[in-house]
Amino acid sequence: EILPFLIDVTCKHVFLWFVEQEKDPGFWKEWAQRTLKNALNLQDLNKNVAKNIILFLGDGMGVPTVTAARILKGQLNGQNGEETQLEMDKFPYVALSKTYNTNAQVPDSAGTATAYLCGVKANEGTVGVSAAAVKSQCNTTRGNEVTSILKWAKDAGKSVGIVTTTRVNHATPSAAYAHCVDRDWYSDGEMPDEALQNGCKDIARQLFENIPDIDVIMGGGRRSMYPRNTPDVEYPGEKKHNGTRKDGRNLVGEWTDRMKDKVKDETREKQGTSFHLFIYNKDLFSLNPNNVDYLLGLFEPADLPYELERNKETDPSLTEMVDVAIKILQKNERGFYLLVEGGRIDHGHHDGKAKQALHEAVEMDRAITRAGLLTSIYDTLTVVTADHSHVFSFGGYTHRGNSIFGLAPIISDIDQKPFTSILYGNGPGFKLVNGARENVSTVDFKQNNYQAQAAVPLSMETHGGEDVAIFSKGPMAHLLHGVQEQHYIPHVMAYAACIGQNKDHCRTNSGSPFLSHISPTLALLLSVKWLLC
């Protein structure tokens, strides 16, 4: 019990030192000069080829969520919070992304995913198809398919992976491999008969058929892979988790058989190739990534649990999944593309549960830190962004160091009741007691599932329409600057990696590489310098 005491005393000492330092104008001037020096170093642009490209997508992680997560991260470490840096805050380049869909001012996660993965803006509710496709109209699919940067990377010989805290066939990941006019067609059990008769495929089926050799897939969504009424292996007594497929197919079994044959073929050419299939969560912790080339990890029937509710003994965190994914993918000498989604930030906000949402955002930032330790800024382009925002805010003239989940220091001058700093523009947190606004001092507003008060009653809180941030580091990261259309993001990433249609700049007239990778030693030194700064 001595160690926690020492940590607590140390944090308080550092906190008091920090507060005293802030009274000295020289403290702020020296801080600014250090920042200026680092900014001047950015004049030496990193124009190397990106061997590896990683996209971290915080679903629903608008700028207010980023700021609140930063404060939460600091407060979890015993600090005020406002002065804390998220890992994404350390990235040298920041831009803004315009998130609208082709038919929506305030977007959804499907149309936005098509933009930042396929490089084409699209209609709300559709994935992997252009704006010529109409939501839920199967006959508008054919001929309007668009491919993603994951496919461009796979076609270039790179390893590719998808890691998400939602279902692997949810809106964000599905745009990486599927072409579907309805984001809710998770399995054929959720599709109308007319769509099936017209030849449209459900998203789970497309995961295994469109790009059959995705090297790493981790997330939830088991029930979409099994025949209807098949009991779940982890929750056999809960019917809501049973399989949903009407076609009787066992997609996991089919993947296993196909991978066995593929591994046999590849083993003839190289030794050590293997595959691994996960069903039970705890299996991930005993995995040796060096012995695995293909990984399918389906850890829940639907979405993974919130970080605050996760069983740390059996349920993998986003950071743990990212760690394993990168260690598997980076064995490919040609590099890799990895899509990582912190998908339950969005779910927390929709439920009005800000504490759940912000802890999800902090966990994604931990995963970003882990990815940075496993890669080099010299040959890895890392981009962090969001698909859209939410009508989430925090204010009320709170004092420095106020708990991000705490009360504002004033009461309403209209109804003379206190209010929390965090509020929503709409959502399930709207509550009236005897015809008046609920008095939050009578409830536990710091509990994990507290629904923050909302101005307009809705069963689910809505997305927000403002621009979202794009943080980037690594080769060609400087191209993500200013205010950009969301569909610009994958084009920059492809350009940096010399994949897809962006290849001409990668060679000189003589045909030799114009942009080159550097030695592993120098890359390691630069990574250490980055972390120290």
Residue 87 near residue 382, CB atoms below 8 Å: no
Question: Residue 276 gets which letter from DSSP?
Answer: E
491 appears as a binding residue in the annotation: no
3-class SS string, 39-102: HHHCCCCCCCCCCEEEEEEECCCCHHHHHHHHHHHHHHCCCCCCCCCCCHHHCCEEEEEECCEC
1 is annotated as contributing to ligand binding:
no
Calpha distance 489→487 (Å, rounded): 6
Are residues 219 and 299 in contact, defined by beta-carbon separation less than 8 angstroms?
Answer: yes
Burial of 34 (0-12, 13-18, 19+ CB in 10 A): exposed
To the nearest 10 degrees (0 to 180), the angle between helices 25-41 and 2-22 is 100
Q: CA–CA separation, 213 vs 443, rounded Å?
A: 51
The answer to whether 466 is a known ligand-binding residue is no
Q: Which residues does the annotation mark as catalytic? A: 109
Residue environment code for 41-52, b if the CB has 16+ CB neighbours within 10 A, otherwise e? eeeeebebbbbb
Q: Check the annotation: does 59 bind a ligand.
A: yes
Question: Is 457:426 a contact under the CB 8 Å cutoff?
Answer: yes
User: According to the annotation, is 215 in a ligand binding site?
Assistant: no
Does 387 appear as a known binding residue?
Answer: yes
Backbone torsions φ then ψ of 390, nearest 5 degrees: -140, 165
Q: Which amino acid is at 78?
A: G
Concatenating the DSSP letter of every residue in 136-170 gives T-GGG-TT-B---HHHHHHHTT-EEEEEEEEETTS
Q: Is 388 annotated as a binding residue?
A: yes
Q: Which residue numbers belong to the known binding site?
A: 59, 170, 172, 341, 346, 350, 387-388, 463
Q: Which residue numbers belong to the known binding site for Zn(2+)?
A: 59, 346, 350, 387-388, 463
Q: Which residue numbers belong to the known binding site for Mg(2+)?
A: 59, 170, 172, 341
